[in-house]
Amino acid sequence: MSDAEVDRIFHALADATRRDIVRRTLLGQASVSELAAAYDMSFAAVQKHVAVLESAGLIHKQVSGRQRLVHADPETLERARNLLADYENLWRARVQRLDEMFEGE
């Protein structure tokens, strides 16, 4: 993933409402109207959250008649999870090297 992709994904996931939209749409697709009904904010505000998530590739919209159905993209979440796992592995390797250094004293 490029730095720009990573930035978009983690920016999108930095907001609790957007994380909840991703969670809801992982469980099943929903229209933007259905999503908006779940939050104490305007329809336009929910549309903006959906746009940020779509820009990050975390969700996709498809047209079904007059509705815009939203569903999450688990592959993008998996790519983000893999990136975090890489960082965790680097950290664990560093801790292991410190442990080995202290054991050698």
The CATH number for 84's domain is 1.10.10.10
Full domain range(s) for residue 58: 3-103
For residues 67 and 33, is the Cβ–Cβ distance under 8 A? yes
* Count of domains observed in the chain: 1
* 28 or 96, higher pLDDT: 28
Mean pLDDT over residues 65-94, rounded?
90
Tell me what pLDDT residue 105 has.
Answer: 66
Tell me what pLDDT residue 97 has.
Answer: 80
Does this model's pTM top 0.75? My answer is: yes
> How far is Cα 65 from Cα 76, in angstroms, rounded to an integer?
27
